[in-house]
Structure 1
Amino acid sequence: MTDSRAVVSTGKGEPVQLVTIDVPDPGPGEAVVRVQSCGVCHTDLHYREGGISDDYPFLLGHEAAGTVEQVGDGVRDVAPGDFVVLNWRAVCGVCRACKRGEPQYCFDTHNAAQPMTLQDGTALEPALGIGAFTERTLVAAGQCTKVDPQARSAVAGLLGCGVMAGIGAAVNTGGAGPGDTVAVIGCGGVGDGSIAGANMVGARRIIAVDTDPTKLTWAREFGATHTVNAAEYDTVEAVRELTGGFGADIVVDAVGTPQTFKQAFYARDHAGTLVLVGVPTPDMMLELPLLDVFARGGAIKPSWYGDCLPERDFPALVEMYQQGRLPLEKFVTEEIGLGDVEAAFDKMHRGEVLRSVVNL
């Protein structure tokens, strides 16, 4: 058992607290990771606001990189000293998706079996099964993906969630490639990840759509060739005008509302692909003429975690970053301490940051 400082959410909408928690020694198939950096993601804020569940207290943080300190019995793929990026999709290897060679769709992903606790013994619910706003965290060993140890932890850790979801939405789910036209609706961390991914694979035209001029400026830094302010222009008409009247080959909805989904649906070319990576709320309902769905052809694809396979994608993307082909460092707006998470949430609300990253 190890003491560790940690950021915990104790109630809906209440400011987070910096407390000391207990981290168990790893059991079979588990690992303790010394966290070096962890990004502040909107999902952490959703946990604090009760948007995920009401299983308080939550141990927040999940976009993390660090060094393995201990491993439990049976762990073979990682060892103490390994530099790893944490992922929330530790695949089982035996479900029907894994057996048919599609582990990125694993139906039985898992986390550590033992709980981390407050010092009074109260079990903590770790965000996305990770809980990394802490000096040390306990995870399933399969949640640890080894990457180049020369990579900066503040940058590499962002692949653990939002940036990977965005890159994967464009490349893995959408199948973007050389010569394609790609439109991205919503230019936060996930949307900019899609833009960076489309640029990385050689898309010919990349159209960024948002209502915030600052976010559109950021989008250009990741490779957007054109921008559309949706507060001033009709999104569908603007995308069509920029694509010869046809619409984009791939449209990524990184917002996830009925309005943006419809915009994405009609902004794509005939037989084009719509990728939904923005997360809707449970109350949202969608109405579309079924004839339009039939007549336009193509594909409508939800993208969960960018359809990534961490052991395949994380090392490759870190290598591309190291080669200067993927500007991951541009996602990092500021680097902060554990005690600054609540202030980072406020900056997120105001749209002042793309990513705040906690360094430990």
Structure 2
Amino acid sequence: MPQTVRAVIARAEDAPVETVDIVLPEPGPHDVIVEVKACGVCHTDLHYREGGINDQFPFLLGHEAAGVVETVGAAVTHVAVGDVVVLNWRAVCGECRACRRGRPWYCFDTHNASAPMTLTDGTPLTPALGIGAFAEKTLVHEKQCTVIDPDTDPAVAGLLGCGVMAGIGAAVNTGAVTRGDSVAVIGCGGVGDAAVAGARLAGAGTIIAVDRDPRKLEWAKEFGATHTIDAGTEEVVERIKELTGGWGADVVIDAVGRPETWKQAFYGRDLAGTVVLVGVPTPEMTLDMPLIDLFSHGGALKSSWYGDCLPERDFPMLIDLYRQGRLPLEKFVTERIGLDDVEQAFTAMGEGRVLRSVVVR
């Protein structure tokens, strides 16, 4: 039967979020109800609240989550009641053109729950990235759940559901960083520092962190940056080249997603280097570049969606590395907060005071 739980919604563009009662319908055949134990406050949630994703208000916010499977639909085989899971928004279908070509990280038909969660008056909610986990419980498709080691801190594990996976994957999967490479990361918030951590994990020799905030540059050093560039006082492209023997970096990761930072990434790479865009631009942004510059540089220009990850492959592997002490995921958790503190967490994010605020229960 339907359940009523507390959750955080964005009712209108730029309006403060609200904690309200919502209704979870009975799970469909392939749906599951997950009791949410932790959910990170991601910049994407703020984009939803600001109307920067679409206008399908009201939104049920939250998507970087870990929890315990409470109820399963009649045809569920992927998970079982009691499993500890990380939720993901790239639940690949296995049947679309991308999946059939062996590129499931580009899946065009990812799975979501079969029925919407609603307000108590019946108004359908749009869940952030198909998840909606600033809630005591949420309804998702079984394939949106990745089973992990039950002894893992859910506040740490949940961050793999979006930002940390996006950054690590941008370095390891999309950028294909390997031993001895030089890497520059522009923008050292949660995603950028995850890219720094991924580059270190892959064995990069030189890892350059670029940001305007000295505090964020210090954080980047904790994740493995060997050099830092203060973009507010230093010429970024020139300094990247100075730190790489005059050539530029093998891989430059733009974790900001603005035309000016993308150009810094493009001109700060080696002649045959790789640019990876993982920061998400807003729809109105445009890029004006001399076409001859694109022609005369080799290498690759790539976008990284969700770190080009496969949750079933990557989440358990990264949890194992964390538990072995080889990946400091715990350093991303700046503070633990309650459901009623999400609006204040958005303020802290905007002021650059946190890598991640995490709602815990």
Structures share a fold, TM > 0.5? yes
Partner of 1:266: 267
Q: Output the CA distance in 2 between the equivalents of 1:328 and 1:32.
A: 26
Aligned to 1:231: 232
What is the rounded CA distance, in whole Å, between the counterparts of 1:21 and 1:100 in structure 2? 40
Pair 1:140 & 2:156 matched: no
1:306-329 Cα offsets, whole Å, 9 max, x none, are: 000000000000000000000000
For residues 91-240 of structure 1, what are the structure 2 equivalents within 5 Å? 91-240=92-241
Cα shift at 1:201: 1.2
The alpha carbon displacement at 1:110 in A equals 2.3
Measure, in 2, the Cα distance between the counterparts of 1:114 and 1:262: 43
Unaligned runs of 5+ in 2: none
1:13 partner letter: D
Aligned amino acid, residue 347 of structure 1:
A
* 2:331 alignment partner in structure 1: 330
CA offsets, 1:212-241, max 9 Å, x none?
101001100110000000000110000000
Residue identity opposite 1:34 in structure 2: E
Q: Which amino acid aligns with 1:334?
A: E
Q: Which amino acid aligns with 1:143?
A: Q
Deviation at 1:73, TM superposition (A): 2.3
* Alignment map for 1:48-67 (pairs within 5 Å): 48-67=49-68
* Identical-pair percentage: 68
Other structure's SS at 1:187 match: coil
SS in structure 2 opposite 1:329? helix
Q: Distance in 1 between matches of 2:246 and 2:109?
A: 44
SS of equivalent residue, structure 1 residue 300: strand
In the other structure, the counterpart of 1:313 is 314
The 5 A counterparts of 1:346-357 are 346-357=347-358
> Any residues of structure 2 matched to 1:73-88 within 5 Å, and which?
73-88=74-89
C-alpha deviations, 1:260-314, integer Å up to 9, x for none? 0110000000110000001111111111121211211000001110000000000
Aligned-CA RMSD value: 0.7
* Secondary structure at the counterpart of residue 167 of structure 1: helix
Q: Could you tell me how far 1:336 is from its partner in structure 2? A: 0.5
Q: How does 1:2-41 map to 2 (within 5 A)?
A: 2-41=3-42
Matched residue of 1:236: which SS? helix
Work out whether 1:254 is the aligned partner of 2:246.
no
Q: For residue 244 of structure 1, what is the aligned residue in structure 2?
A: 245
Secondary structure of 2:82's counterpart equals: coil
* C-alpha distance after superposition, 1:19-54 (max 9, x if no partner): 111111210111110000000000111111111111
* Divergent runs of 4+, >3 A: none
Q: Report the CA distance between 1:132 and its aligned residue.
A: 0.1
In the TM superposition, residue 96 of structure 1 has moved relative to its aligned partner by 1.3
SS at match of 1:20: strand
Say which SS state the counterpart of residue 19 (structure 1) adopts. Answer: strand
Report how many aligned residue pairs link the two structures: 360
Post-superposition shift, 1:349?
A: 1.2
Aligned partner of residue 270 in structure 2, secondary structure: strand
**CA separation in 2, counterparts of 1:343 and 1:102?**
39
SS of equivalent residue, structure 1 residue 274? strand
In the aligned structure 1, how far is the partner of 2:341 from the partner of 2:9? 13
Other-structure match for 1:68: 69
| 2:336 match: secondary structure | strand
The letter for the 2-side match of 1:3 is T
For structure 1, list consecutive stretches of 5 or more residues without a partner in the other structure.
none
C-alpha separation in 1, matches of 2:224 and 2:20: 41
Secondary structure of the 1:286 match is coil
Give secondary structure in 1 for the equivalent of 2:219: helix
How many Å apart are 1:192 and its aligned residue? 0.5
Once structures 1 and 2 are overlaid, which stretch shifts more, 22-31 or 241-250? 22-31
**TM-score w.r.t. structure 2 length?**
0.99
Q: Which amino acid aligns with 1:114?
A: A
Alpha-carbon distance in structure 2 between the residues aligned to 1:264 and 1:125: 35
Instruction: For 2:53 and 2:306, locate their aligned partners in 1 and report how far apart those are by CA, in whole Å.
Output: 16
